[in-house]
Amino acid sequence: MDATADDLVPDADLDALTFTGLDLAGRDASGARFLECALVDCRADGLRLDHARLLDTTWTAVQAGDVRAPSSTWRDSTLTDVRLGALGVSGGEWLRVQVVGGKVDYLDLRGATVEEVRLERVTLGDLDLSGARVKRLTVVDCDVRRLDVENAHLTDVDLRGARLREAVDGVGGLAGATVSPDQLVDLAPLLAAHLRIRVG
């Protein structure tokens, strides 16, 4: 069923709706439940999804400067070719989520539960996993300008497909991650500083 922007209200119960080519800027869907919904070619600046649940939901070619979704749940969902300035899911859950193509300047997963997530061919400005519990995250052919893993708990995290451009914060939080030999060379100075090893 085709949806309208007016369907996005707090605590809405949205089943099998398709939002196509809509301006969703500033809409507040806090606490809403999205089941088998699709957002296609929408603008979503300032969209609020606090505590929302997105289940079996797809986003395709969605553009936004800022999407605020703290403490939200995303499960069995896919984001394809999105262009987002910031996607804030701090304290939330990303379970079996795929992000394919596109660009996200700031992906905020601070303190989140992240499990069975795949990032593929995405350009990421900042990937913030500080304080997050991350299990089975795979990064494939992605540019990552900055990665923050301060106080993160990583299990079966494969970062070999990440081109780490500038900085890794909280390098001690990389325990549980797999990196390539080239990445290890790049990380060596940070690891030495973390372990207070003097090189010379």
Instruction: Flag whether 163 is in a domain.
Output: yes
- What pLDDT, on a 0 to 100 scale, did the predictor assign at position 165? 66
The number of folded domains in the chain is 2
Same domain, 124 and 84: no
- Indicate whether 116 and 58 sit together in one domain: no
Hey, what amino acid is at 146? Answer: R
Q: Which residues are paired to 146 by β-bridges?
A: 126, 167
- At 174 the pLDDT is 85
- Name the amino acid, one letter, at 160: R
With tokens 């690891």, the residue in question is: 191
Supply the pLDDT for residue 64. 98
pLDDT, position 56: 98
CB 176 within 8 A of CB 156: yes
42 is a domain residue: yes
In a domain, 100, yes or no: no
**Cβ(150)–Cβ(169) below 8 Å:** yes
Give the residue numbers spanning the domain of 73. 1-88
Give tens-digit pLDDT for 178-191. 888 887 777 777 77
* pLDDT for 190: 73
133 and 199 housed in the same domain: yes
Distance CA 136, CA 79 (A): 18
Q: Is the pTM for the entire model greater than 0.75? A: yes
Residue 35 near residue 54, CB atoms below 8 Å: no
Decide if 101 is inside a domain: no
Nearest to 76 by CA among 29, 123, 111, 34: 34
**Distance separating alpha carbons of residues 194 and 157, to the nearest angstrom:** 20
**Measured between alpha carbons, how far is 13 from 61 in angstroms, rounded to an integer?**
23
CA nearest neighbour of 144 among 120, 115, 116, 124: 124
- Tell me the pLDDT of the chain (200 aa) as tens digits: 899 999 999 999 999 999 999 999 999 999 999 999 999 999 999 999 999 999 999 999 999 999 999 999 999 999 999 999 999 999 999 999 999 999 999 999 999 999 999 999 999 999 999 999 999 999 999 999 999 999 999 999 999 999 986 678 887 888 888 888 887 777 777 777 776 777 77
